[in-house]
Amino acid sequence: MTMLPVSALYAPVEDRRRYSKARCVREGVLCLLVLSAALLLACKAHAAGFVPTRFTVVDAGTAGKPEVVLIPGLSSSRAVWDGEAKLLAPNYRLHLLQIDGFAGQAAGPNASGPILQPVVAELHAYLAGSGMHPVVIGHSMGGLIGLLLAEQYPADVKKLVIVDALPAAAAMLGPGATPATVGPQIEALKQQMTSMPADQYAAMQPMMAARLVKNVDAQKLVAASAASSDRTVAVNAMAEDLMTDATADLPKVTAPTLLLYPYEAGVQKPDQVDTLYKNAYSTLPHLTLKRVDDSRHFIQYDQPTAFDEAVESFLR
């Protein structure tokens, strides 16, 4: 409460009245300023929305354009989308994610416990807090995250693009393989990779990258991202990916979905590759399948033109 100065107490009555009236005006203005500042802070807090703790987001592209969320895969940085992001940027507002613990980013809460489902939950909260209804594009484990989001929160996803991911990745380990049948095998692999000496683990990354991408320059990028990832997070996420089966909830997806998958002559038989992906997603509604030839797992690196044409055609 504001007190009258001593001099005002001894002023004539009319002067004291004018002083009190002026004081009321000043205090009223002050109150309005305080309320305005509080409302401004509240608006800013609301606009900021949910702040994720499991991943970071970099915004790019053109404000006011349709929203696109891009999710990289296991041990990958958001840089895997650099080429495609440049092509999408003029016509879309981009939100490039990177999972904590991957490619040199601090592990945070991903250092222990489950990873996939907490990331999905935080991605839902992030989209809801931002008021977005975006296209979601995910590669590999990022594709599985996008699929889980579309299954559990169908209203979140306008369209979905899955780049070489299966709803049950255990199928890659052999015919008829399921998380239940390969559980012991996955646990043994997890223990082997966790206990591997650091020099051996580092030496393994270029060899793994060469199996995942044909482009020689991209192999170096993929290997570097994997080598700089937190090993515990990467191994746990790999095991969790292989032990996840999202097949039963495929009918819950309402978003039109594009599945891009690779084929490399001399390594696979085209009919077998087609059958694998077609059968895996047989119960997913509104599905478009597109095979990208002469490519390995990182289609966006091996066939960037074909990749962009497929994505942009689907988004239109």
* Number of alpha carbons in the 13 Å side-chain half-sphere of residue 185: 13
215-256 pLDDT, tens digit each: 999 999 999 999 999 999 999 999 999 999 999 999 999 999
Residues 242 and 284: their CA atoms lie apart, in Å, by 20
Q: Identify the H or E element spanning 96.
A: strand 93-99
Q: What is the mean pLDDT of the chain?
A: 88
Residues 127 and 189: their CA atoms lie apart, in Å, by 35
**Token pair of 78, please?**
């958001």
- The proportion of the chain whose per-residue pLDDT surpasses 90, expressed as a percent, equals 81
Mean pLDDT is lowest, of 31-40, 89-98, 104-113, for: 31-40
167-196 pLDDT, tens digit each: 999 988 888 888 889 999 999 999 999 999
Residues 246 and 248: their CA atoms lie apart, in Å, by 6
Q: Tell me, what's the pLDDT at 306?
A: 98
**203 phi and psi angles, rounded to 5 deg:** -70, -25
Q: What confidence category does residue 48 fall into, taking pLDDT thresholds of 50, 70 and 90? A: low
Q: Which residues make Cβ contacts (< 8 Å) with residue 101, sequence separation at least 6? A: 107, 108, 110, 111, 115, 229, 230, 232, 233, 234, 237
Q: What confidence category does residue 30 fall into, taking pLDDT thresholds of 50, 70 and 90? A: very low
Question: Is this prediction's pTM over 0.75?
Answer: yes
SS3 191: helix
Count the Cβ atoms, other than its own, within 10 Å of residue 129. Answer: 15
191 torsion bin: left (phi>0), alpha (psi -120 to 50), beta (else) = alpha
**253 phi and psi angles, rounded to 5 deg:** -75, 120
Q: Assess contact for 131 and 158: CB atoms under 8 A.
A: no
